[in-house]
Amino acid sequence: MQNNNNKICITAISLGKGGAERSAAMLSQMLDGLGYEVHLAILNDEIDFPYAGTLINLGALKKEEDSLMNRYSRFRHFRKYLQKNKINFVIDHRPKNQYFRELFYDHYIYKDIAKIYVTHSSKLETYLTENPKKFVKLCNKNIANVAVSHHIEQNILQAAGIQNTTTIYNTFDPNWGMQNDTLPEELKDKDYLLSYGRINDTIKDFQFLMQSFAASKLWERGVHLVIMGDGTDKKMLQEKAKTLSGGAQIIFLPFTSEPFGIIKNARYVTLTSKYEGFPMVLVESLSLGTPVVALDIVSGPSEIVVDGENGLLITKREVSLFSKCLVRMYDDNALYERCKTNAKTSVGRFAPREIAKQWQEVINHE
Q: In degrees, to the nearest 5, what angle opens at C-alpha 84 toward C-alphas 78 and 90?
A: 55
Partner residues linked to 41 by β-bridges: 11, 56
Q: What is the average pLDDT score of the chain?
A: 94
DSSP 222: T
pLDDT tier for residue 179 given thresholds of 50, 70 and 90: low
Reported as a single tens digit per residue, the pLDDT across 134-159 is 999 999 999 999 999 999 999 999 99
If you count them, how many residues does the chain have? 366
Percent of the chain surpassing pLDDT 70: 97
Q: What is the pLDDT of residue 1?
A: 40
- Looking at 45-192, list the stretches that DSSP marks H as alpha helix, in order from N- to C-terminal side: 68-84, 99-104, 124-127, 132-139, 150-151, 158-160
pLDDT tier for residue 2 given thresholds of 50, 70 and 90: very low
113-139 burial: b if 16+ Cβ within 10 Å, else e: bbbbbbbbbbbbebbbbeebeebbebb
Question: Does residue 269 contact residue 194 with C-beta atoms inside 8 Å?
Answer: yes
Q: Give the whole-angstrom CA distance, residue 92 versus residue 181.
A: 32
Reported as a single tens digit per residue, the pLDDT across 19-70 is 889 899 999 999 999 999 999 999 999 999 899 999 999 999 988 788 888 9
**What are the phi and psi torsion angles at 52 (to 5°)?**
-125, 155
Q: Give the whole-angstrom CA distance, residue 2 versus residue 23.
A: 22
Question: Does residue 223 contact residue 330 with C-beta atoms inside 8 Å?
Answer: yes
Domains of the chain, earliest start first: 3-171+351-365 (3.40.50.2000), 176-347 (3.40.50.2000)
Residue 152's alpha-carbon distances to 119, 122, 167, 334, 350, in angstroms, are 8, 6, 8, 34, 17
Q: What is the pLDDT of residue 5?
A: 56
